Structure formats: structure tokens, C-alpha cells
Structure 1
Amino acid sequence: MTTTGDEASAGSLRLQRLVIGYLDHLTVERGLSPNTIAAYRRDLTRYVVWLTKRGIHDVTEISTSDIEAYQMSLVAGDETHRPLATSSVARMIVAVRALHGFATSEGLASENVAIDVNPPNVGKRLPKALSVDEVQRLLDSIDRTEPIGLRDAALLEMLYGTGARITEITSLDVDDLTRIRDDPEAGLRLVGKGDKQRMVPLGSYARQAVDAWLVRGRPALVASAGRTSPALFVNTRGNRLSRQSAWGIIRDRAAQAGITTEVSPHSLRHSFATHLLDGGADVRVVQELLGHSSVTTTQIYTEVTVEHLREVYRSTHPRARG
């Protein structure tokens, strides 16, 4: 049977509407973050385009073999896309499975044809944590005599001192720090994934760095930009510092400190968790500080610590070699 252009367009639209409905569900019912929603949108849009090119225009027309073929196209690449890493393939298939599960639960499909399509196994990669010495070098290398240096020092001190996600820090306003500055024992309120809130302590180094930024750095930067903003961290134009800009700051400061390994906001989060566990902190305390909903997620950091202990043992114990 030949499919006309109008039919193809309408079919594609039906699949697009399914994706939009699913994304609305993730936003409203599950409260996922905008970044997560954007990732789902990208992955599922690619799936819809692939289906439409093959003459599939409705969820009821999709079979298990179609999804298996799509997975193979992700692994092998096709005329418009290069082969993907196993982790990316796994993420995309998880999104596809979730979409079909949603379609079934909403009565848009009689069965979940994706339920038996398993994403590829992804080897668990341990996070790369900086050593305490590397963190110290990173923080000490910043010139804190200029507004930009005061900002960057406060940003890095807060990330390492709280274990926060980068978006949790860049979304803070000056008013969020008022109680912290008035009460040395007060915790910092962070809003994490799914708008879940948690309180984390703010150590003396982070407090001092933030105070220096607010008193000696931020007013000068905002004044030179000629505009006001409620944001705690701002760029040279006086606008809220973006997640991408913060990433660049960390990367550049690490290079300046002579750290050759790749450093990201998550490197500081990993380092925060690993150093706490190295110091004897209970894994459930670290779970609360990181904002993980399950302790299982946090337990990967204990593996980092165990591996560190193994390395120390192998390099120092006389009976570990040979």
C-alpha cells in the first residue's frame, strides 16, 4: 500500500502528539527537571523521525521487531547518524520503553511492544574524584583580588563544600543567602530534581568566599554591567550565570591550576561525596546531603573509596606485590 505525503505528515503528527503527551506527563505528574525533559524530547524526536521514514505513523503500527531494528540503527549508525556509545543507546531505549509504557497505560496501545526490548548493558563507570590536594590546588590558584576571581572562588567553594548540582547553585538568589549570613549555624536550602528541597550545611571556607563575593565582588560586577539581578552568581553582563558558563569556569580554573584530568561540576560533587566517605561519614548521611532518593545511588561512592583503599594497599603493603 502506498502512503501519500499527507498521510505521512498526519501519521508523524500522531506520534508527535504522543511524545508531547508523555513529556507533559513527565513535567506535571513526575516533576522532572527542564534539562531531563529536554533530553527525553531529543531522544524521542529521533525515534519518531526514524519511524516516520519507515512508513510508521501511529503507535499501534509499531512492533517489537521495529524497536529492535531501531536499537540496531543506534548501534551501527545510519545514513544521517554515526554509531552511538553503549551508554547513549541504553538511554534512548529506556526512553522508548517508557514512551510505550505510557501509551499502553493511557489506552493508546493494546500492548507494550517494547517491554521485551532490553537496553544494552552499560559497564558501571566509577566517578572520577579529585584528590584533596587537587581540590586545594584548584581553590588556591584563584586570584581573589578581582571581582571575577571572588565570584569563581565562591562558586567552586560552594560546589565542593555542599556537593550540590551545578543548576542548584546557579539558580540561587542573593536572598537565599540572607539567613546563612545572619546565622552561622543555618543551613542552605537547595532545590533539586523534581523540586525536592533539602538543607545542607555550609562550611566556613564556603561562607567566607560567598561573603567576600557579596561584599567586594558582586556589587562591582553588577555596577559595571549597569543592571540589577536577583541572582547570586552573575556574569560580566550582570545576568544570571548559566550552567554552561559555570562549566567553562570550572574547566578553565582547573587548567590554570595545572590539573590535567577533566574537571566538571560533577567532579566536585563526586569529590565532596568521596572525601566525606573517606573521612568516615555514614553513606545515608551522604545520601541526604547529595539529595539522592535512594541510598543505592549513593553507594557507588563507597566503591570509589574501596578502590582508593585498594590502590593504597597495593602501593604500600609489602605483601601486596609479587
Structure 2
Amino acid sequence: MSLELLITDFLEYLEIEKGCSPLTIRDYRRYLERFHNWLTENSPITKPEDINQELVRRYRLYLAHLRARDGIPLKRVTQSYHIVALRAFLRYLLVQRDIPTLSPDKVELPKQDPRSIAFLNTEQVERLLNSPKISNVIGLRDKAILETLFSTGLRVSELVSLNRDQVDLERKEFGVKGKGNKLRVVFLSDTAAQWIERYLRLRQDHFKPLFIRHSGKVDARNNGEKMRLTARSIQNIVSKYAKRSGLPIEVTPHTLRHSFATDLLINGADIRSVQEMLGHESIRTTQVYTHVTNRHLKEIHKAFHSRNRQE
């Protein structure tokens, strides 16, 4: 079987057996198609058995020198994503298809620059959350969205998929299906639950989606599914209020997710609990926030350690 067909089988395996999201499959398809196209143009190798470390080294060199149309090179993290996809494909060939090929353990990931986390401090969060004008249903909806993002740390894809009957406002908790179809329970703050309740009371529909658009033509088909806000709509809403608040950084829904995690850790939550609330499969993903909290601990040490105090 050709590499091209094997890549197609692998993508179907990710969808059916691993339950990966359409976005993940789309990215893996793009990364592996780039590998296959490079292989076709630069190597006589057409079989998995012939993939070796020298070939991977040459491919990594190609990625390091690759330029986009605007002349900007691929970021290190993007190069890593290509190699992660290739390693996953090699592991699939070995384990699931019993096809001899290069062991993925022999393919090292590129070293990455320390990840920078953008988050809002307490004062900035307050400015953002208080920026919607709540005199109408759109303002109430936007206020509820911002409060929910900061209260739960939801990914934007998880937020837009929420339905009214899914959220228990009395218990202030609900279940979500995150990356890889992984289920977890998330919790609403008292404030977030109150604003969601106020927004829903003002709604004059019985549509299924929790957050809907309130402009344009009303489409009541399929329980109002066409009224559901999109991820892009949520991004625009967050960006609008960040600019209105005069915040010094670009703010996205993921910035609120970072702020949620940082807020918990700074206030004493243990990293394992934060990992569960974020839905991270690996603790290493959550540990990126320790760089932020370490700076906070340093400030505490400087302020309160007896040998730092001036006479």
C-alpha cells in the first residue's frame, strides 16, 4: 500500500478510533501531506520500510528553511507540530498496522523556546468583565460569556457547543467533552451562574444553544442550531471588550483560559487539580503556568522574607 493511502487510513483511525476533533485531523492532514509532497519531490522512497533517520533529518532541515509566501519562516512550535504528526504516523504503522518502519522514538522533537503565557492580572480581569453594557440582551449575553470563560477556563470550541439543558445553574457545574472526546466536569462561579441566569430570563426563545446571536434573520429550524454563536463570534466579542477596556495586550478567549489557570495557582490551587479543570491530558502541559506562579512566589519572598526587609 502506498504512503498516501496509509496516511489516509491513519487519519481515519484518528477520527474513528481515537476520537480526535475535526481540527486536529485537519492539522495532521496538512502536516502529513507536506511530508508526502516533500518526499515525492526529493526522495525515491515510496515505502514506509525505507523511512530512516537520515531522511527525517533532511526533512527537518527543509522545515527549518521553509518560508511562507510573506517570507516568514515556520515558527519552531509549528516545526514541532509537523514532527509530532510524523511520529504519530510512524507509531500507527508499527503498532496498528504491523508495518516495519523507523521507530518514532528515534525521531527527536525540535527544542522549543520557553512558551510565553499571556494572562490578565486581577485588575485587568475586572476591567474586562465589567466592560459590557448590560442594558440589553446582547450586553447581558456578552457579560455572561466573559464571566463563563473566566469562571471555567473553557476552550472556545467547548463554550460554543454548550446547550441550555447541559448547564446546571443550581449546582453550578456541567460536563463538557474536550480534546480527544475527553470528558470533564467544570464549575461556574456564583457570579457567572447569576449572569447566565439573567441572560436566559431575558431570552424570549426556547432554542437549544446556550449562547445565540441576536441580530439577523431568526432561523428556528433544528431547535435554533443556526442561531448558535460561532468560535469566531466569541473571539470578536472578547476582542471588542478588551479594546474597550484599554488592555495593553491582545486578548483572546484563550487568554481568559490562561488567566483562569493562573488565578487558581496564584491563590493556592495545586497543579494536578488545575490540570483536571483545564482538561490537559499531560501534567507537562499544565506546568507551563509554573513559570508565572514562580514569579509571583518570588515577589512574595521579596516582600515578606525577614532578610529582605529594610531596617
TM-score range (shorter-chain normalised) is 0.7 to 0.9
Contact 1:23 1:41 in 2 (8 A): yes
Aligned to 2:100: 110
Counterpart CA distance in 2 for 1:31 and 1:197 is 12
Q: Matched residue pairs, number?
A: 301
Asked if structure 1 preserves the Cα contact closer than 8 Å seen for 2:129 and 2:146, the reply is: yes
Aligned counterpart, 1:241: 229
Distance in 1 between residues matched to 2:165 and 2:222, nearest whole Å: 8
Q: Which runs of 5+ in 1 are unaligned?
A: 1-12
Percent sequence identity over matched residues?
A: 35
Find the counterpart in structure 2 of residue 24 from structure 1.
12
Note the alpha carbon deviations across 1:226-261, whole angstroms, 9 max, x for none. 2226789x8xxx532122221222122211110121
Conserved? CA contact 1:254–1:263, under 8 Å: yes
The residue aligned with 2:40 is 52
- Specify whether residues 79 and 210 from structure 1 end up closer, same or farther in structure 2 by C-alpha distance, changes over 3 A only: closer
Change (3 A) 1:214 1:223: farther
Match of 2:28 in 1: 40
- SS of equivalent to 1:262: coil
Q: Is the contact made by 2:67 and 2:74 (CA closer than 8 Å) also made in structure 1?
A: no
TM-score w.r.t. structure 2 length? 0.85
Please give the root-mean-square deviation of Cα atoms over the aligned residues, in Å: 2.9
Aligned partner letter, 1:226: V
- The question of 1:185 aligning with 2:154 is answered no
Flag the 1:281–1:79 CA change in 2: closer, same or farther, 3 A: closer
Moved more, 72-81 or 128-137: 72-81
Cα deviations by residue, 1:72-126 (Å, 9 ceiling, x for unpaired):
0110126978531111111111211221222233456423165423221112314
Structure 2, unaligned stretches of length 5 or more? 206-211
- Superposed, 1:241-320 pairs within 5 Å as 241-311=229-299, 319=308
Amino acid aligned to 2:75: A
| Contact 1:64–1:114 under 8 Å retained in 2 | no
Deviation at 1:215, TM superposition (A): 2.2
Distance 2:265 2:215 in 1: 42
Contact 2:173–2:186 (Cα < 8 Å) also in 1: yes
Runs of 4+ in 1 over 6 A off after TM superposition: 78-81, 229-232, 315-318
Quick one: which amino acid aligns to residue 62 of structure 1? I
Residues 1:208 and 2:198 aligned together = no
Q: Say whether residues 1:69 and 2:75 are aligned partners.
A: no
Secondary structure of the equivalent of 1:164?
coil
Contact map agreement 1:150 1:217 (CA 8 A) in 2: no
Aligned-pair distance for 1:316?
9.0
Instruction: Assess, with a 3 A threshold, how the Cα gap between structure 1 residues 128 and 111 changes in structure 2: closer, same or farther.
Output: same
Query: Does the 8 A contact of 1:139 with 1:157 survive in 2?
Result: yes
Gap change, CA 1:294 and 1:89, over 3 Å in 2: closer
> What's the TM-score, normalizing by structure 1?
0.82
Distance in 2 separating the partners of 1:292 and 1:115? 23
**d(CA) in 2 for partners of 1:218 and 1:156?**
22
Structure 2 residue matching 1:124: 3-state secondary structure: coil
